Amino acid sequence: MGCTRAVICSQPEVAKAILNSSAFADRPIKESAYQLMFDRAIGFAPYSEYWKNLRRIAALHLFSARRISAFESHRQALTNSMLESIELLAQSQPNSSVKIRGILQKTSLNNIMGSVFGRSYSFGCGDSESEELASMVKEGYDLLGIFNWADHLPLLGFLDLQGIRRRCSDLVPRVYAFVQNIIEEHRASPANRDKGDSDFVDVLLSLQGTEKLSDSDMVAVLWEMIFRGTDTVAILLEWILARLILHPDIQAKIHEELDSVVGNTRQLTESDIPKLHYLQAVVKEVLRIHPPGPLLSWARRSIHDVHVGGHLIPAGTTAYVNMWSITHDEKIWEDPLSFKPDRFLPSAGGVDVNIMGSDLRLAPFGSGRRACPGKALGLQTVHTWLARMLHHFQWLPSQDHPVDLTEVLRLSCEMKAPLYAKPIKRNTVPFQ
Ligand code: HEM
């Protein structure tokens, strides 16, 4: 690909060999990622002691089961406001049809801002700080998602024909000012960690000795979390709702499951989720049929020569795993183009595939040492929000904007046309 030596694989065994090999522990160099400081954050940092240290800190203080469950009340409070705004919006529209994407994105951004920065924002209310945050996230997401010719044809880099370098240079000082301001506020009033009210900024500020991070490294790490954690969750939920609107029989089965596990006299809690087997199978089937990172976000780079599947792959080669092709391969999945959550339910003759990285037939969070560290948090958020959205509403198609499943590949694989849906309230359990 241009001057980049690349291999692409579409078989689970080869994908496993690549993603789990210590040789493929680096990411390819991407100009926009470096310009946006991500080489000092987990996702693009070269394989090094620095990267290992960041992963260890994040695993312990942001992604551990204890931290995830400590933030349940935060996730639930956000769900309450999300459901309330969906209800209000539906009432104010002539056909009760609501554009879902913006609501999911804002809730998802607030979710990450709460757990990482201890902050909450009111988007769309004219608050300048919130507007600045939303606009920076959008710009950064666009910049990382653009296919940059200069990554593969270095001579073009000088010309900056796509304007990527200029846009990155405009964005970085804004990000720096925004995140640095939050860091300073945390410095000025440190959290009482004994009371458990600390967020990830407090954690980073408390690091000492060899773990201590410079301010610019902290900005990079914190900024990356906003990126990685926001759109992944929102995009997946939009796909799931789209599928459930197109398959009302499947939606009805989730409603049945919710009625039997939760009933209609109390609010759903996260302790209910492990009992919602069908809902979890639906999430898996959406991850299979619309894998969020079908190709590009999976790229790895070999740090030394290595043999894979009998072929020599030289150091510096970029390896792509074509997850879309694997999850649509009829030799691996029966009737791969059909949406059938039952394929994951042993009680319906299916197989309970582990999606956390051990089975490369479906590994939406990657695999090996660079697998997604936010996978448990991401899945918990998706399961909780989805379950609550379905517990509260029945979702019907919008008359004016039919569901369109056309995909577009940006940083993730997204729905090209935003989803509109008509929510019908189905229970009156008060929000707590
Ligand atoms: C549905 C939700 C999500 C999906 C589908 C997803 C998917 C992925 C994928 C495919 C990778 C590349 C893995 C590899 O190379 O093997 C990745 C990496 C990463 N993800 Fe996620 N992710 C999700 C949620 C999150 C969340 C919530 C966070 C953090 C708040 C996060 C943070 C990261 C980071 C930091 C990396 C880079 C890891 C490294 O290079 O060491 N992700 N994610």
In 81-145, where do the E strands start and end? 98-99
Beta bridge partners of 311: 308
CATH assignment of 6-425, among 1.10.1040.10, 1.10.8.60, 1.10.15.40, 1.10.630.10: 1.10.630.10
Q: What is the mean pLDDT of residues 387-414?
A: 93
Q: Determine the pLDDT at residue 1.
A: 66
pTM for this structure?
A: 0.93
Q: What is the mean pLDDT of residues 222-241?
A: 91
CA of residue 401 relative to chain centroid, distance: 26
Helix pair angle (100-112, 215-246), 10° resolution: 150
Residue reference for tokens 């009625």: 259
In the 8-state DSSP scheme, what is residue 350?
-
Beta bridge partners of 425: 393
Q: Mean pLDDT score of the chain, rounded to an integer?
A: 89
* H or E segment and range at residue 59: helix 49-61
Mutate to test the pocket of ligand 1, among 137, 237, 365 (most ligand atoms within 8 A of CB): 365
Residue 12: CB within 6 Å of ligand 1?
Answer: no
Residue 364 CA to ligand 1 centre (angstroms): 9
Q: What tokens appear for 397 in the block?
A: 């198609």
The 10 Å Cβ neighbour count of residue 337 is 8
* H or E segment and range at residue 164: helix 164-188
CA of residue 22 relative to chain centroid, distance: 25
Residue 409 CA to ligand 1 centre (angstroms): 16
Residue 232 CA to ligand 1 centre (angstroms): 8
Ligand 1 atom with least separation from CA of 44: 40
Q: Is the pLDDT of residue 378 over 60?
A: yes
Q: Is the pLDDT of residue 295 over 70?
A: no
Residue spans of the domains in the chain: they are 6-425
Residue 377: CB within 6 Å of ligand 1?
Answer: yes
Residue 236: CB within 6 Å of ligand 1?
Answer: yes
Residue 70 CA to ligand 1 centre (angstroms): 21
Q: Is the pLDDT of residue 20 over 60?
A: yes
Q: What tokens appear for 393 in the block?
A: 């509403």
Single-letter residue type at 392? H
Q: Rounded to an integer, what distance in angstroms lies between the CA atom of residue 432 and that of residue 430?
A: 6
Q: What tokens appear for 379 in the block?
A: 């899945």
Residue 323: CB within 6 Å of ligand 1?
Answer: no
Distances (CA, A) of 45 to 51, 54, 111, 149, 210: 6, 10, 25, 21, 17
Pairing of strands 300-301, 306-308: unpaired
For the segment 110-144, what is each residue's pLDDT rounded down to a tens digit? 999 988 888 777 766 667 888 888 888 888 888 87
The 10 Å Cβ neighbour count of residue 44 is 22
Closest by Cα among 282, 247, 295, 283 to 407: 295
Q: Determine the pLDDT at residue 119.
A: 79
Helix pair angle (215-246, 128-145), 10° resolution: 80
Cα radius of gyration (the chain): 22
